[in-house]
């Protein structure tokens, strides 16, 4: 039975507006989307928001190169994001931008609150400065020789060969990526947030948030190393929000980006009477807030972000859910191998339901990486979605359409079989709730096997030859179609567009989770049309070839300085 109604706010990490959505990104957005869809399907009040993360040096420089404003550039990229998200069934209740009046107001409110408590201070630091370009250089805009292993052409913050992390001052013979010149060192006054004073409060929050064990272990490593105060400002020129009371200081993108979660929700609240901003973002309310993120930004979302919220009078997240990285054929995504696949390239070749299901079949609640093996992808989708699931309906619907005037029987011949499937409802729901999608998919496909075994045993294609067994054929096929219907209801969060087509086939206006436990009897169905077709290897081969031929990234690296090891850098 459904627990008490809940009020839930779900977010995905904000995609940075410096490139297209690709298969790696989709691990995160599909994980969050499936969970949000499940919560809504169960009858809870669940609001799902996101936004484009648009500030920072890379966006500013790209806009300058194109001769347009950053606002125009990021608006175009946002349109592309939304087009791809929509095609994959990733539908947000609100999708916004971090360059918004709501976000600026919230950033300033939090900054001023932290300033009043003494959690913001200024300090003079030294930075690399590109005299030719006239700007301070983020770490990832510096290349040089690693100070530890002496590998050449490494970034200013970390070596990709030996894994060492360091400061730009440690880099040997640094060169600006922008101009190819040697940078000079200049001093500048920056604003810092006292993250170091929040260890006790963060540990208390971590206990309450019930984070996954491997995540807690990683956080302990960072606690042991000591929390460092956070540089939250950048010097002009910079695309972002100017710090009040200054002429040339801007809030660092990593400060205003997560506040974009709240700003997107605020923008939605201002347009809807049924949502109250304070109920979800101020302490003392019985609401839930969850972030879905990649493991590369755990430091930020589980240390810096909760501390900023605590210090500025906002509520902290109920929990933060992290996932691992995507490999393709067991290796990092590669443009030369054609495995760096953009969302649009995939969509030009394959149905989005295939990837939604395959990722769900791989995903669990841990931060382990998942592998997209393209041969396994073809085999699993064809075996599970086509060979098991859709096959149930295709084996039964034709008889009902052709011989029984599209009408289902008034009773099930084996109600115990249907009840066994209905009884799995709460087990499957628990798997979804705990983000154990792979367990849910295995359970659902096991039930699909049971349904196919039933049809194999009854053999309606044999019984139809005997006029005396027509009633039994109608009953058996009604049983099979009801088993299929319940399975599709269970899969609605994962393959929503296919589920919508199945629901229309049954002539129903809407489904809810509980509908899986109630058979559909004595009604008319529509003519059955194939809901999905098999993946042909040539389709995947074509997708890989198109990815090899695709133009190289036209955007600068998603990189800024000041990031912790393991963080997504912008």
Same domain, 181 and 206: no
Does 539 reside within a domain?
A: no
Same domain, 277 and 172: no
Predicted TM-score (pTM) above 0.85: yes
Q: Can the peptide bond before residue 237 be classed as cis, meaning omega within 30 degrees of 0? A: yes
Does 525 reside within a domain?
A: no
Q: Which of 129, 94, 119, 95 is nearest to 17 (CA)?
A: 95
**From CA 380, how far away is CA 374, in angstroms rounded?**
10
Per-residue pLDDT, 140: 80
23 φψ region: left (φ > 0), alpha (ψ -120 to 50), beta (else): alpha
Regions of the chain short of the pLDDT cut 50: 1, 551-569
Q: How many CB atoms lie within 10 A of CB 165?
A: 13
In which domain, by residue range, is 283 found? 7-118+196-228+253-350
Same domain, 17 and 160: no
Per-residue model confidence as pLDDT tens digits over 432-458 = 999 999 999 999 999 999 999 999 999
Per-residue pLDDT, 447: 98
The separation between CA 361 and the C-alpha centre of its own chain, rounded to angstroms, equals 15
Does 306 reside within a domain?
A: yes
Burial of 262 (0-12, 13-18, 19+ CB in 10 A): buried
Same domain, 414 and 307: no
Per-residue pLDDT, 3: 61
**From CA 25, how far away is CA 372, in angstroms rounded?**
13
Same domain, 67 and 215: yes
For 498-532, give the DSSP string. Answer: HHHHHHHHTT-S---GGGGGS---S-B-PPP--S-
Tally of domains in the chain:
3
From 350, 373, 408, give the residue that closes a domain: 350
Same domain, 96 and 124: no
219 φψ region: left (φ > 0), alpha (ψ -120 to 50), beta (else): alpha
Same domain, 16 and 124: no
Does 110 reside within a domain?
A: yes
Does 468 reside within a domain?
A: yes
Find the CATH number of the domain harbouring 136.
Answer: 2.170.220.10
Which H or E run includes 345?
helix 343-347
Same domain, 462 and 510: yes
Does 235 reside within a domain?
A: no
Does 170 reside within a domain?
A: yes
Q: What are the structure tokens assigned to 253, written together?
A: 């993108």
Same domain, 420 and 508: yes
Report angle CA 311, 316, 320 to the nearest 5 degrees: 135
Say if CB 256 and CB 98 are below 8 A apart.
yes
Same domain, 463 and 345: no
Find the CATH number of the domain harbouring 479.
Answer: 1.10.730.10
**From CA 52, how far away is CA 80, in angstroms rounded?**
11
Same domain, 84 and 142: no
Q: Which of 508, 422, 353, 333 is nearest to 34 (CA)?
A: 353
**From CA 46, how far away is CA 6, in angstroms rounded?**
8
Per-residue pLDDT, 479: 98
Say if CB 384 and CB 361 are below 8 A apart.
yes
Same domain, 47 and 184: no
Find the CATH number of the domain harbouring 310.
Answer: 3.40.50.620
**From CA 348, how far away is CA 137, in angstroms rounded?**
38
Say if CB 239 and CB 60 are below 8 A apart.
yes
Does 162 reside within a domain?
A: yes
**From CA 320, how far away is CA 326, in angstroms rounded?**
19
**From CA 510, how far away is CA 494, in angstroms rounded?**
16
């Amino acid at each position: 039975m459904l627990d008490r109604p809940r009020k839930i706010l779900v977010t995905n990490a904000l995609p940075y507006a410096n490139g297209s959505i690709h298969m790696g990104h989709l691990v995160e957005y599909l994980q969050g989307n499936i969970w949000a869809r499940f919560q809504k399907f169960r009858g809870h009040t669940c609001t799902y928001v996101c936004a484009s993360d648009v500030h920072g040096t890379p966006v500013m420089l790209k806009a300058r190169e194109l001769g347009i404003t950053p606002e125009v550039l990021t608006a175009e990229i946002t349109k592309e994001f939304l087009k791809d998200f929509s095609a994959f069934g990733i539908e947000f209740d609100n999708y916004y931008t971090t360059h918004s009046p709501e976000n600026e107001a919230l950033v300033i409110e939090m900054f001023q609150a932290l300033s009043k408590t003494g959690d913001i201070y200024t300090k003079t630091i030294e930075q690399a400065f590109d005299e030719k370009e006239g700007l301070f250089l983020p770490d990832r805009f510096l290349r040089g020789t690693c100070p530890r292993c002496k590998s050449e052409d490494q970034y200013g913050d970390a070596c990709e060969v030996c894994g060492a992390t360091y400061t730009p001052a440690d880099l040997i013979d640094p060169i600006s990526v922008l101009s190819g010149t040697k940078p000079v060192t200049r001093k500048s006054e920056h604003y810092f947030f006292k993250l170091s004073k929040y260890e006790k409060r963060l540990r208390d929050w971590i206990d309450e948030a019930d984070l996954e064990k491997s995540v807690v272990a990683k956080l302990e490593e960072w606690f042991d190393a000591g929390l460092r105060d956070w540089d939250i400002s950048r010097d002009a020129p910079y695309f972002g929000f100017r710090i009040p009371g200054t002429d040339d200081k801007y809030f660092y993108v990593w400060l205003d980006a997560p506040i974009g979660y709240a700003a997107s929700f605020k923008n939605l609240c201002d347009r809807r009477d049924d949502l109250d901003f304070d109920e979800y973002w101020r302490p003392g309310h019985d609401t839930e807030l969850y972030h879905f993120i990649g493991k590369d930004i755990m430091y930020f979302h589980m240390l810096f972000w909760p501390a900023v919220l605590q210090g500025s009078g906002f509520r902290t997240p109920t929990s933060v859910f992290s996932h691992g990285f995507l490999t393709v054929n067991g290796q990092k995504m590669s443009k030369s191998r054609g495995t760096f696949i953009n969302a649009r390239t995939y969509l030009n070749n394959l149905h989005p339901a295939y990837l939604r299901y395959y990722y769900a079949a791989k995903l669990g609640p841990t931060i382990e990486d998942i592998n997209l093996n393209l041969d396994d992808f073809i085999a699993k989708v064809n075996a599970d979605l086509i060979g098991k699931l859709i096959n149930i309906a295709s084996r039964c619907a034709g008889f009902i359409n052709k011989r029984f005037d599209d009408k289902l029987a008034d009773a099930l011949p084996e109600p115990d079989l249907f009840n066994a499937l209905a009884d799995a409802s709460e087990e499957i729901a628990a798997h979804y709730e705990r983000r154990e999608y792979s367990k849910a998919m295995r359970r659902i496909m096991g039930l699909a096997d049971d349904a196919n075994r039933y049809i194999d045993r009854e053999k309606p294609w044999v019984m139809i030859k005997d006029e005396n067994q027509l009633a039994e054929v109608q009953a058996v096929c009604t049983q099979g179609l009801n088993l299929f219907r319940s399975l599709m209801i269970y899969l609605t969060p994962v393959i929503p567009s296919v589920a919508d087509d199945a629901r229309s086939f049954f002539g129903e206006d809407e489904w809810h989770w509980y509908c899986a436990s109630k058979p559909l009897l004595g009604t008319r169905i529509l003519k059955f049309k194939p809901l999905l077709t098999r993946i042909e290897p040539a389709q995947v081969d074509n997708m890989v070839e198109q990815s090899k031929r695709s133009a190289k990234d036209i955007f600068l690296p998603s990189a800024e300085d000041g990031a912790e090891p393991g963080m997504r850098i912008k």
